Structure 1
């Protein structure tokens, strides 16, 4: 039955593949990227104040970033939070801010960054003038991110010929 529909639909009768095979690279070959050697890595810790209320999905997603390559974490945010674009943008901003700081200040390549640890500490701002029975507190979170990165020797530019 499918063969008949195929022949009616396709006049050229050539077989084709919808999904193209990707060329396997020698770097990852479809396997997750591993941490670099402990001798080659450096770490830097950032603390970010997040003033919006964080959903349970966002908390779970951030906690899943421990020991994860940066681009895998960004891919997870883009894929899993498609239905909530505001929270997606907020979580991307949380990741991009320390990464851009490392890139600009230390000239670290984006491809050499891993998320080592991430912690969420929720606190409430208490209004001292209200009674203690009031539940009208402002909630915010402190997100602590520890990034690992590889430092490489800068490439020396060749002098121009003229």
Structure 2
């Protein structure tokens, strides 16, 4: 992938191929977002209580976020649930609340957040006041999300000339 192929024709119509190596740049080659180095990252864990039960597709999508940019995770949610508005709104709310907390408290850029781990634990709580024969259970889900983020030094605002 680090080679460029030039094709030229000489006067006798023979095809000549010249291979020239490109210099590698510090930017990622075709990857718009790079995973940070281990010395640059910090982590924060959020536990979210979700009232109700998640669908199997929602669990699958949330579990696929591990070691993924939050931007790509949100894109996956929007692509998979484009017809079921209730489910994707709830999943986006699950992800947006910790992201906004990171942005407000630590001045983290949206593109500097990665999902490291997600744990989903479903639990049910019986109603003690109802008879044992008809015990409707209130179901809820605990979603634990561990985010990696990269902090940058805030830029100093320039003083005005007047």
Aligned partners of 1:27, 1:97: CA distance in 2, in Å?
31
- Structure showing greater Rg: 2
Give me the TM-score of the superposition, normalised by structure 2: 0.79
Identify the residue that residue 116 of structure 2 maps to in structure 1: 116
Residue 34 of structure 1: CA displacement? 3.5
Q: In 2 relative to 1, CA 33–132 (structure 1 residues): closer, same or farther, beyond 3 Å?
A: farther
Match of residue 126 from structure 1: 126
1:44 aligns with 2:41: no
How far apart, in 1, do the equivalents of 2:121 and 2:132 lie? 22
Q: Aligned-pair distance for 1:32? A: 6.5
- Per chain length, whose mean CA-contact separation is higher, i.e. which structure has more relative contact order (CA < 8 Å, sep 6+)? 1
Match of 2:31 in 1: 31
- Unpaired runs of 5+ residues, structure 1, are 1-25
2: CA distance between counterparts of 1:70 and 1:62?
11
Q: Match for residue 91 of structure 1?
A: 91
Aligned residue for 2:75?
75
More helix by share: 1
Deviation digits for residues 19-56 of structure 1, max 9, x if unmatched? xxxxxxx8555436342011100000001110022110
Unpaired segments ≥5 residues, structure 2: 1-25
Q: Deviations over 1:63-104 (max 9, x none)?
A: 000110010000000000112111100000000000000100
Q: 2:125, 2:119 → 1: CA distance?
A: 19
Whose strand fraction is larger, Structure 1's or Structure 2's? 2
Query: d(CA) in 2 for partners of 1:123 and 1:56?
Result: 15
Count of residues in Structure 1 that have an aligned counterpart in Structure 2: 137
